[in-house]
Amino acid sequence: MNFRADLHCHSTCSAGTLTPVEIIDLAKKVGLSGLSITDHDTVAAYETAIPYAKEVDILLGIGAEFSSVFKGVSVHVLGYDFELDHPAIKALCLNHKKRREGRNAAILEKLKRKGMPIEEEELGTTDKTIGRPHIALAMVERGYASSIQDAFNRFIGDGKSCFDLGTPISTEETLSAIHEAGGKAFVAHPHLMAGERLIKELLSLPFDGIECYYSRMPPHREKPWVKLAEGRGLLKSGGSDFHGSVKPQISLGCSWVDEATFRSLFTRCL
């Protein structure tokens, strides 16, 4: 069987609907050999994922997807192969938890002013990363929006009336923490960012790689990113961005990397 690894997916520890153990089970079911669970701004998934991955014989690479801001633009950074318990990663995750708490409160207040009250308790337990997808789900359950995408499109998406950026954490600070913990930093889904100039400015920062392979991206759209990465001597990564039922059109393993790419990213493969 050919080696395939999905290096971009989310569990119930952030915006996904499957637990880390359920994601690993699904990975085995769809024939994946390797996996990195890249929850938003948290590494909580690995408490259960590490022992279970060893039990069922699937290679696990440490990862997370960190939110950041570069020149006023939202930039997602995929951090890989860092030391899980490093103080810099712990501090970064804690700062994000505080940032999200403030941001969520601001969004809920804006929704309330528009006649769409939602109680904080409706968003879920505090042991996971709570963000806009959870607010969107609560909006659907309350009848304020027809779907999660509708909630984003009309109310809480970037630039919409109830959007709030919160106190941003810079891309530079994010890269510094990942590197201090011995990890590698990648630009996540660059094709979703607007502007070639912005990408070039972003890559003036010490990124280690680019996410070149992404769910539902046809080969002809992957090629420019592969060419850019190889031309700059950067590593390549890829994955589905699987979220479970939150994004039902995206299946785990629909985008993947081969064994050589996997092992070029992860020196402390578990």
**Residue 270 within a domain:** no
* Nearest C-alpha neighbor of 104 from the set 15, 164, 144, 17: 164
pLDDT tens-digit series, residues 158-214: 889 999 988 889 999 999 999 999 999 999 999 988 778 899 999 999 999 999 999
| Total of domains in the chain | 2
**Residue 24 within a domain:** yes
CATH number of domain containing 221: 3.20.20.140
Given 112, 129, 156, the domain boundary residue is 156
**Residue 143 within a domain:** yes
Mean pLDDT, to the nearest integer, of 132-157? 92
**How far apart are the C-alpha atoms of 191 and 188, rounded to whole Å?**
9
pLDDT tens-digit series, residues 12-69: 999 899 999 999 999 999 999 999 999 999 999 999 999 999 999 999 999 999 999 9
**Residue 165 within a domain:** no
Residues 61 and 36 reside in one and the same domain? yes
Residues 82 and 109 reside in one and the same domain? no
**Residue 113 within a domain:** yes
Residues 101 and 213 reside in one and the same domain? no
* The pLDDT of residue 125: 67
CB 75 within 8 A of CB 68: yes
Please name the residues in contact with 124: beta carbons below 8 A apart, sequence gap of 6 or more: 130, 134
Task: Compute the C-alpha angle 143/148/153, nearest 5°.
Answer: 100
pLDDT tens-digit series, residues 82-132: 999 999 999 999 999 999 889 899 999 999 999 999 998 888 766 667 888
**How far apart are the C-alpha atoms of 123 and 135, rounded to whole Å?**
6
pTM of this structure = 0.90
Q: How many helices (H) and strands (E) does the chain have?
A: 9, 8
